[in-house]
Structure 1
Amino acid sequence: MNALNSRLTIDSEQAFDTDGVLARHIKGYSARTVQKQMASAVCSAINGTSNLVVEAGTGVGKTYAYLIPALLSGKQIIVSTGSKNLQEQLFYKDLPALLDMLVLAPKLALLKGRSNYLCQLLLEQQLVACESHEPKVLDDLLRINQWSGQTVDGDLGGLNSVSENSDALRLIASQREKCTGNKCAHYAACFTRKARVRAMDAKIIVVNHHLFFADRILKETGFAELLPDSDVVIFDEAHLLPDIAVTYFGQQISTRSLDNVLQQIIAVYQTELRDSAQIELLAARSINQLNRWHQQLFDTDETDWRLLMGNRDIASASWAMIEELKSLEVLLFAHLGRSETLDECIERLVTLSNKLSVFFQCENNQAAYSIDYGYRYLTLSIAPINVAKECEKLFDAQTSWIFTSATLQINRDLSLFTKGLGIDKSKQIILASPFDYRANALLCVPRHLSKVSNHEAAVKQLIDVSVMAINAAKGRTFILFTSHRMMNAVAARLQSRVNYPLLVQGQGSKQSLMKKFRQLGNAVLLGTGAFWEGVDVRGKRLSCVIIDKLPFVSPSDTLYRARAESVSRDGRDPFTMLSLPQAVISLNQGVGRLIRDEKDKGVLILCDNRIVNREYGQAFLNSLPPMSRTRDMDKVVNFLEQIK
C-alpha cells in the first residue's frame, strides 16, 4: 500500500470508529465492520489500485462509506445516482452534514440534464407569442416568469407554483437543439451554462446516470460536454446501469420531433417565405403521411419492428413516408440561406429522415428494433443487445471507477453485472446486511396458491391474502405488482374489503403518494415498477410488503427476444442467462423496501409458489436476505400483530 493510499485509508477508517467523527456527531451511532470494509475498498479504488464493484446490503451504510473517502481524498469526483431523489438527498442532506462533521469546504455542484433548467430565451419567445397559448398555459408561463427573477440556479425542480405536468414546462425547458450558444442575448445569465461552470470548478459533482451517459456519448460525437474529466466516478444504484447503457448506446427517434419540425417548416412559410407555396404543400403532405403511418401502427399495437416490417401495408407506408420527406428536403435545399430558422429545420429534418431510414432497414442483427407507444406519438428505439464492448471503452483507464448497489449479485456472484458492463477485471466485494433478518423479518409463500397464469384466480387469492395481512398490520402495507392490469384489478376490489386508506399509483406523483403514505401512518399503497426501488419508509409505518408474483420480463419484450435469440445461437439457455438473473435482481429491489433500519420489523408475502416448487426458485432464495420462512398465513398474522 503506497503512502497516499495508506493515509486516506487510515483517515477514512478512523471516521467510522466508535470514537470517530460519526460517533461524535450522530446520536445512537454504532460502528459497523462492513461499512469500514467498504470505505477501505473505496480508498484503494480512489487511489487507482483497481476499479471496484461492491454490493452493499441494506444497512451497510454505503453512502457514507464512499462519500467520506471521496471528501478526504481531495480529488475531483463525480457521484452518479440512479434517481433525482437520491441525487438531491446527497447534495442537500448527506454532503452538507459530512462537510460539517469533517470541517471541510470543497466546492460542490449539483448538475442535472438540460431539460431540468429554465431557458431564458425560450421563455422570452413564449411570452412574446402569448396570444397563441391557452389561458392555463399562459397563466403558468407568467408564474414561471415571476419565478425566473427569484431563482438562483434555474432548476425547474424548485418551481412550486406550477404543476410538474404543466404543458408550459416543455416550452421553456433548455434544449440542445434550440440552444444558440454565445450568440444568445441571455448567454451570460444562462442557467445551463452557469451549472456547467460550477461543475467544472467543483471537487464533488453530483449527477444522475442518464446525464452521465448522455454527456459521455455526446462527448464522443464532438458536442460540447457538461461534465469535466474527473479523477474518480462513483455510481450508486449501479444495478440500473446496464439498461441505461443500452438506451444511450442505442438510438431513439421520437415522431413528436418529426412532427414538430414539419409544423415549424409550415410556420416559416407562413411568416417568412410566402412566395414559396410548395414548402407548405410538401410539408403538409409529409404530415399527412406521418399521421396515416401513425394510425396503422396504433391499430396493431405491436412493439417489434422486425415483425411489423413483415406487414406489406406498413412497410409500404413506411417507405412512402421516407419518399415524402426526401422530396421535401430537395425542395428546402433550394431555399437554403433565405431563412435562418428554415436552415435549422433542414438540418433537423435530414437527421431525422436518415435515422428513420436506418430504423426501417433494421440491418443490425446485434440490435433490437422496437416501438414505444405514447399518447399521440411513437418512440422508435434501436437497442444493442450487448453493450460490454462500448462500456469497456467508456470506462477508461485514466479514471477510477466505483460501482455500488444493494442488489448486484445472483447466487453470491457478481459476474453477470461485471461482464454486462465490460468491467469483469474490477475488484469485486459482496457485503451482507448487518441487520438481524432472521429475528426481524418473515418471508411467507402462502400454501394452496393458484397458478399465476390464471388471472381471475390470482386476483382473488391476492385480495384474500392482502386483506388478512392488511388488517393484522393495521394498514402499513405496500402491495407491489408486476403489471398495471393486476394492480388495477386488485385496487378496484380491495376498496370494499379494507377500512384503511388506499393509495394507488397514478392518483398522484410518486413523491406525493409517498408523502401521504408517511403522513397517514396506516395507509396501503399499490404500485408497479416505480415503487419497487428508490422508496424508503423506515419504522412502523411500513410493516408488510406483498408481491404478486416473481418479476420475470415478458417473453414478448423486443429487447429480451433479441437477446434471447443471440444467446440461443451461442448454444446457451436464455432463461438461465437472461430471464432468471434479471428477475432475481428485480425481486431483491422489491424486498428491499421492507427492512430499512436495524430496528425495523416486517413480513414479506410472495404470492407465487414457483419460488418453492420450481428448481430455479433456489436462485431467488439464495439471493434474498436470510429471513425466517413460513407458508402459514396464521403465523404471518401473529407476527404482524406483535409489531406495535
Structure 2
Amino acid sequence: MSEQARLGLDEVFGEEGRLAGAFSGYQPRPGQRRMAELIRDAITDQHTLVLEAGTGVGKTFGYLAPVLLSGKRALISTGTKHLQDQLFDRDLPQLRDLLGVNTRVALLKGRANYLCKYRLDLATEQAQLPRREDARALQAIRDWGERTLDGDRADCVEVGDDHDIWPLVTSTNDNCLGRECPLYDECFVVKARERAQKADIVVINHHLFCADLALRQTGFAELLPDTDVVVLDEAHQIPEIASMFFGESVGSRQVRELAQDTRTEQKHEARDQLGLLDAAEALKRSIDPVVEALGRIEADRLPWAELSENQGVVDRLDELAAALDRLVAELEIGAPRGKGLASLLGRARQLRDDLGAFREGRSEADGHAVRWVERRTRSFTLHTTPVNAAGQLKSHVESAPRAWIMTSATLAAGRDFSHFTRRMNLDDARCEQVESPFDFASQAVLYLPPNLPEPAGRDGATEHTLAALRAVYPLLKASGGRAFLLFTSHRALKLAAETLGKHLTELPLFVQGTRSKSALLDEFRQAGNGVLLGTQSFWEGVDVRGEALSLVMIDRIPFAAPGDPVRAAREQRLKDKGLVPFVHMALPEAIITLKQGVGRLIRDTGDRGVMVLCDPRLQTKGYGRQILDALPPMRRTRDGRVARDMLLPADVAG
C-alpha cells in the first residue's frame, strides 16, 4: 500500500500530475506534497499527526488526496458547516474525479439541520405565528419540503438559515420521538445516517463530532468503530468546542421549548387536560423572573460560587424548580395518552434532574469542572464545564488503532505545539509544520505605528481605538479602501464604525452585525473599495484574494477578556501544577489567534499588502518580540510612509 500511495502522490502533485492537468497555471507546491506524505505515513502507521500547514499550502487537497488514495474508511470533520458543504459539494467530488477513484462520500450534520416532517405538520396545524412573514416562511418550507430529497435546510434558499421559524420545524435530541414518531420511515435524519453507514468517507463538523462523543446520540458514534482515519480540519477549534460539549448545561431555551412543546402536544393529544396547559404556562412564566434577578448583576458570566448566596437568584430558581415539578406531575397523568406527551415527560424529568444536579454541584465535586452562569438580555444558561476535556478526547483517540490527523494553519505558538497538545492530552503525537509558500518579505509589510497609547481601562481603550484609527486613516486613503479592520471587542467595533462613518464618507463601510457574514463578504468583494469592520468571526475562515483586500488592521493583541470563570479555573489548575498561566495559556492562545487574523492578508502568490498591528505592547513588552517572531516573516516598519508606499501603484509610490 505504501508504494502505491507514493506513486499516487506523484501522479497527483507532480509537474505532470493530475492537478497540473486540471488547473491552468498550476505550480507544484513542495509544502503540499510534504503534507500529503506526512498524512500518508500517518495512515499507514496508524499514528496521531498534529500538522500546522501555513497559508497557501493547499491544505484541503493536501489531506484529501492521501485519504482518497489510501482506500481506507475515513471521517473528516471541519470547523464550520460552510466548510463542510464546500468539502462535500466541491472539493471531494472534484478530486475524486481527478484521481479516478470510486469512493462513496456522505454528508452528516446535526439533526437541527434537517427538516422534521412531524414537527412541520404540528407547526402547520397548531402554531400561533405572530408575524405574517413567519406564516410565509412556513409555507415556503412546506413547498420546499415536498421537493427536497435530503431535507438539509441549507438548501431551502427561500428561508434564511437564521430565521426564527426553523426551531419549530426541526428536531432536537430532546424533542425527537425516535422510533415512536409516526413519520419515522420518512425521517431525513435517519436517511442521512443510513447514507453515512454505507459511505467510505463521511464529512461532519466539529460541533457534531464533539456532541456525539459526549452524548452518543447523533449517529456518528456508530461510525467511529469502523473508521480507519479521522481528519480534524481547523483543529485549533477542537479543545474549546469539546469543553462545551463534554460539559452540562440547562437554560431558559430548553425550559421555554419544553413549555411550548407541551402546549402543542396538549392540544394534539390531551385537549381536555387543562391542568397540563396551566402547568406549561406557569413554567414559561417562571423564566423571566430568573432573567430579571440575574440582570441586576453586572457581569455576563459569573462563577456559581459568587451567585449561590444571592437570595434573589436562589429564590427565583426555587420557583423554576417548583414549576418543573408541577409540569412533571401533570405529564405523568397525560403521558399514557400519546407518544408526544410520553416523550415530553422524559424531557421534563431530565431537565428537572439537570437543574438539581447543577445546584447541588455533583459534577464539580472532584475539582475537574466549574459551575458558572451565563446571562443575556432575555435568557440565561447554567453551565458545568470541565476545566480540561483532554481526558475524554484522549480516550476516543486511543479507543482503537487508527490514524488521527489534526491540521490547521494555526496550531503552534511559533514552533511550540505544547499548548495544543496539552489541551488535547496528546503526549505521543507527531507534530510537524509545513511552511507557507508565500514570499512574505516581498509580498507584505508589517506596520507597527509608533506612539500609540496602551489599551488599558475603559477610557484608555477608547483613546487607543481612536489612535489606531488615526494611524490607519492615511493608509485607507492610499489603498482606496480594500481593507479589513479587525477588533477584539464589539465596543471598539461600534466606536470605529461611528467614527469612520463621519470621516470616511467616500468609501463604503461594511460593518459586522448589519447583515449576514456571507452577505457582507459578497458585497465587500463586489465593491472593490470597501472597508469591512469585524470582530472575532472575521479573524478566521475568511478568504478574500487579489486586489479586493490589500490592507488589514488589528487593533490589539487578542488576549482573552479577564473574569471568565472557566479560564479562571484553568489558570488555577496550571498554578497547582507549578506553571505560569500567562506563559502557558494566555500568551500561546493570543499568538495562535493573532496568526489567524494576520492570515487574512496574503491569500495567494500574487497578493500584496500591509498588515497594521496597533498594540504598542508588541514593541514595549518583553513578550512582544515573541509574538512578532511567531508571525509570518513580513518586512517590519514603524514608518507610515513605507506602509503607504506599499499600497500605492509603483509609479506613484515614494
TM-score per shorter chain, which class?
Answer: over 0.9
Secondary structure, counterpart of 2:560 in structure 1: coil
- Give 1:496 shift: 2.3
Note if 1:309 corresponds to 2:311: no
Aligned pairs for 1:61-460 (under 5 A) are 61-129=58-126, 134-219=131-216, 225=221, 227-229=223-225, 230-265=227-262, 278-280=275-277, 282-302=279-299, 303-304=301-302, 305-330=304-329, 332-333=331-332, 336-362=335-361, 364=364, 365-395=367-397, 396-453=399-456, 454-460=460-466
Q: Deviations over 1:141-184 (max 9, x none)?
A: 11111111222221111111123332221111233333333443
Instruction: Name the amino acid aligned to 1:20.
Output: G
Question: Which of 630, 633, 637 is matched with 2:637 structurally?
Answer: 630
Q: Which position in structure 2 is the counterpart of 1:470?
A: 476
Secondary structure, counterpart of 2:503 in structure 1: coil
CA distance 1:68–1:222, change in 2 (3 Å): closer
Alpha-carbon contact 2:124-2:138 (below 8 Å) kept: yes
Secondary structure, counterpart of 2:165 in structure 1: helix
Q: Which position in structure 2 is the counterpart of 1:47?
A: 44
Instruction: Name the amino acid aligned to 1:496.
Output: K
In 1, the alpha carbon distance for the partners of 2:571 and 2:499 equals 37
- Give 1:231 shift: 1.3
Secondary structure, counterpart of 1:337 in structure 2: helix
Instruction: Name the amino acid aligned to 1:5.
Output: S
In 2, the alpha carbon distance for the partners of 1:263 and 1:486 equals 38
- Give 1:312 shift: 2.9
Secondary structure, counterpart of 1:178 in structure 2: coil
Alpha-carbon contact 1:196-1:227 (below 8 Å) kept: no
Q: Which position in structure 2 is the counterpart of 1:639?
A: 646
CA distance 1:224–1:47, change in 2 (3 Å): closer
Q: Deviations over 1:388-417 (max 9, x none)?
A: 111110213332110000000113111211
In 1, the alpha carbon distance for the partners of 2:648 and 2:598 equals 20
Q: Which position in structure 2 is the counterpart of 1:493?
A: 499
Instruction: Name the amino acid aligned to 1:135.
Output: R
Instruction: Name the amino acid aligned to 1:597.
Output: D
- Give 1:367 shift: 1.9
Q: Which position in structure 1 is the counterpart of 2:582?
A: 575
Note if 1:541 corresponds to 2:544: no
In 2, the alpha carbon distance for the partners of 1:141 and 1:329 equals 31
Note if 1:621 corresponds to 2:628: yes
Secondary structure, counterpart of 2:174 in structure 1: helix
In 1, the alpha carbon distance for the partners of 2:160 and 2:177 equals 28
TM-score for both structures, normalised by structure 2 = 0.93
In 2, the alpha carbon distance for the partners of 1:222 and 1:431 equals 34
Gaps of 5+ in 2: none
In 2, the alpha carbon distance for the partners of 1:122 and 1:324 equals 25
Deviates more, 1:513-522 or 1:88-97: 88-97
- Give 1:358 shift: 1.8
In 2, the alpha carbon distance for the partners of 1:94 and 1:282 equals 51
Q: Which position in structure 2 is the counterpart of 1:461?
A: 467
Q: Deviations over 1:558-595 (max 9, x none)?
A: 21111112222333221112111111111000000001
Q: What CA RMSD, in Å, does the superposition of the two structures yield over aligned residues?
A: 2.2
In 2, the alpha carbon distance for the partners of 1:123 and 1:282 equals 25
In 2, the alpha carbon distance for the partners of 1:196 and 1:342 equals 26
Secondary structure, counterpart of 2:432 in structure 1: strand
Q: Deviations over 1:587-622 (max 9, x none)?
A: 000000001111111111011010111111122112
Task: Percent identity, please.
Answer: 37
In 2, the alpha carbon distance for the partners of 1:67 and 1:511 equals 25
In 1, the alpha carbon distance for the partners of 2:298 and 2:198 equals 48
Deviates more, 1:134-143 or 1:535-544: 134-143
In 1, the alpha carbon distance for the partners of 2:27 and 2:296 equals 60
Alpha-carbon contact 1:469-1:636 (below 8 Å) kept: yes
In 2, the alpha carbon distance for the partners of 1:161 and 1:252 equals 33
Alpha-carbon contact 1:174-1:192 (below 8 Å) kept: no
CA distance 1:158–1:340, change in 2 (3 Å): closer
CA distance 1:184–1:273, change in 2 (3 Å): closer
Deviates more, 1:190-199 or 1:540-549: 190-199
Alpha-carbon contact 2:446-2:636 (below 8 Å) kept: yes
Deviates more, 1:507-516 or 1:121-130: 121-130
Alpha-carbon contact 2:53-2:433 (below 8 Å) kept: yes
TM-score for both structures, normalised by structure 1 = 0.94
Count of residues paired in the alignment = 640
In 2, the alpha carbon distance for the partners of 1:265 and 1:112 equals 27
In 2, the alpha carbon distance for the partners of 1:162 and 1:290 equals 29
Gaps of 5+ in 1: none
Secondary structure, counterpart of 2:622 in structure 1: coil
Deviates more, 1:35-44 or 1:307-316: 307-316
CA distance 1:339–1:26, change in 2 (3 Å): closer
Alpha-carbon contact 1:77-1:233 (below 8 Å) kept: yes
Secondary structure, counterpart of 1:420 in structure 2: helix
CA distance 1:189–1:346, change in 2 (3 Å): closer
Note if 1:514 corresponds to 2:521: yes
Deviates more, 1:185-194 or 1:483-492: 185-194
Deviates more, 1:427-436 or 1:102-111: 102-111
Deviates more, 1:361-370 or 1:479-488: 361-370
